[in-house]
Structure 1
Amino acid sequence: MILIIQLLVLILIILSIILVVGIPVTLASPGQWEKSKNLIYTSTAVWAGLIIITSIANSFIA
């Protein structure tokens, strides 16, 4: 169970880094917002879902 939480946290960290770099680059690039809007919204929803899943899984350990 601890291995699962560690993997969830690793995925969360990687996705967070991608979003921290990707969103400002997308917003600064002309015309990219319209092309990447759905991808950014989906990635943000996955990120929020990972937060919830990780916190629920962590509650079983403590």
Structure 2
Amino acid sequence: MVTILQLLVSLLIVLSFALVVGVPVILVSPGEWEKSKNLVYTGAGVWFSLVIVTAAFNSFVI
């Protein structure tokens, strides 16, 4: 159980880092927002879902 929680937290950290680096680059690049808008929204949705799943799983571990 603890290993699964550690995996979820690791995925959350990696995705957070990718979004923190990727979203500003997409916003600054001319014309990239229109191309990558769905990718940013999907990444934000996956991040939010991963936060909820990690929090729910954490309540079972502790």
Matched, 1:19 2:19: yes
1:61 Cα offset (Å)? 1.3
When the two chains are superposed, the root-mean-square deviation of aligned CA atoms in Å is 0.4
Counterparts in 2 of 1:1-62, with a 5 A limit?
Answer: 1-62=1-62
- Give CA-to-partner distance per residue, 1:1-60, whole Å, 9 cap, x none: 000000000000000000000000000000000000000000000000000000000000
TM-score normalized with structure 2 length: 0.98
| TM-score normalised per structure 1 | 0.98
Instruction: Return the alpha-carbon distance in structure 1 between the equivalents of residues 41 and 22 of structure 2.
Output: 12
SS at 2:23 equivalent: helix
**Alpha-carbon separation, structure 2, partners of 1:14 and 1:60:** 23
Identity %: 60
